[in-house]
Amino acid sequence: MSGWAIVAIIGILVWGVTQWNRAKHGIVTDEYGNESRAMSDDPETRREIEELRERIKVLERIATDSNSLDARKTKSIAAEIEALRDKQAD
């Protein structure tokens, strides 16, 4: 067997092992060459993903609502009211 044939066989084997490993771990490639993990059909995994999405929505709402202009105005007004109450109590 010639040297080039051995190199070709080794290359094919390496390519095959790589493809098998990618398939085993659920890595898929779209038509543009972008790689991503395939969505699992496991109901427990899907439930966990949905729970995490809901948590992210809540965290985003907390992060944006407390920093909005309306929320800052509300906090400012509440602080002024408390300051007036404290003055009135003195």
Mean of pLDDT over the chain: 85
Does the model's pTM come out above 0.75? no
Q: How many distinct structural domains can be found in the chain?
A: 2
Residue 47 and residue 78 in one domain = yes
CA distance 86 to 90: 6
Residue 84 and residue 66 in one domain = yes
Residue 70 and residue 85 in one domain = yes
Residue 29 and residue 68 in one domain = no
pLDDT digits 0-9 by tens, 41-78: 778 888 998 999 999 998 888 777 766 777 788 888 88
Residue 61 and residue 88 in one domain = yes
Residue 14 and residue 50 in one domain = no
Q: Are 28 and 36 in contact (CB under 8 A)?
A: yes
Boundaries of domain holding 26: 1-38
